Amino acid sequence: MITAKEFKPTSEMLAAARAVFVAMACVETVKPVVRGYQQKILDEMKPVSKMTGLVITEPGLSYQMADRDFGVYHARCNEARKVAGLHVDSDEYCPLLVAKELLRKARRVLVDVMEPVTKIKADNLYVMPTAKCNEFVELTLKLLAPYLKTGG
């Protein structure tokens, strides 16, 4: 078992932690912009859920729209995305989902590079409840953060 005094992070560990912090910042920067225009468009359209028959009021439930409504919603979101100055590689992509995917990948790299210390493989971690995965990544970041501040 490695003690706190013996722990020396590798450059790969520090780079992985930095990547997670950058990806987290990206999600938090993009999220209010995307959720803002999505909510405004939903409020204006008042689309009805094909599952419940109720008006969809949450962007996370947009998958419940009829195909025709979703086409309109998606087109309007793309226009709003462009006005907001958010870039994605394809009009099919949502900037928030792209940012969340980058964060997911960065977290996985962090777990992988920390395996020699934690003895936890990413494949094993990601079958656990989300809250436990989040707690593990948060603890890992807390371990590495002081080394980022001092430059390693």
94 phi/psi in degrees, rounded to 5: -95, 130
Residue 1: the pLDDT is 54
pLDDT in tens, 53-68: 999 999 999 999 999 9
- What pLDDT is recorded for position 6? 81
- For the chain, the C-alpha Rg in angstroms (whole number) is 20
- The Cα angle at residue 41 between residues 40 and 45, in degrees rounded to 5: 120
| Residue 125 confidence (pLDDT) | 86
Residue located via tokens 């493989």: 121
pLDDT at position 66: 96
Percent of the chain at pLDDT > 70 equals 95
Burial class of residue 131, CB neighbours in 10 A (0-12, 13-18, 19+): exposed
pLDDT at 3: 59
